[in-house]
Amino acid sequence: MAALAGLRRVLAAILLLGMSGTFVELLLLGHDEDTTQLIPLVLLGLGLASVMWRVTTKSEASTIAVRGVMMLFLMAGVAGVYYHYSANVEFQRETDPALAGRALMMAVLHAKVPPALAPGMMVQLGLIGLAYTYRYKEN
């Protein structure tokens, strides 16, 4: 049981560090130009608050809150990859209408702005958060 408690502390630290770093990076990149771009910032704030609540109180309600926010992370990450990828497809087609198939996909994936797979970080953080609360009772 002590090993599991230690693993949970490590997961909480990784999760808090990852959410904090991602939050700061998004702010530095100016990822707040419209309402859609605020979604990951709001979720990261909620994630930080819910994990800190869980770390400090160890209540069942805080566990449920972390799990709920982490599910939102998963959904936002998948949606973000879709939106980033779609925006890159549109841009690449405007730049070179002849691009199609694999060449288009590779151009999209190599585009720097917006990075097509960057929102996958939200999925990764969500999975870490769900692992942190896996079979977590009031202990």
Q: What is the C-alpha separation between 108 and 127, in angstroms, rounded?
A: 26
Mean pLDDT of 9-35: 95
Q: What is the pLDDT of residue 118?
A: 92
Domain ranges for the chain: 2-132
Give the model's confidence band at 49: pLDDT under 50 very low, under 70 low, under 90 confident, else very high: very high
Tokens at residue 53, please?
Answer: 């609540």
Please state whether the predicted TM-score (pTM) of the whole model is above 0.85: yes
Q: What is the pLDDT of residue 5?
A: 86
- The residue among 39, 136, 50, 22 whose CA lies nearest residue 82 is 39
Q: Is the pLDDT of residue 138 over 60?
A: no
pLDDT tens, position by position, 53-103: 999 998 999 999 999 999 999 999 999 999 999 999 999 999 999 999 999
Q: Where are the alpha helices (DSSP H) in 29-136?
A: 35-57, 60-95, 101-110, 120-132
Q: What is the pLDDT of residue 137?
A: 67
Answer yes or no: are the C-beta atoms of 109 and 31 closer than 8 Å: no
Report the interhelical angle of 120-132 vs 60-95 (nearest 10°): 170
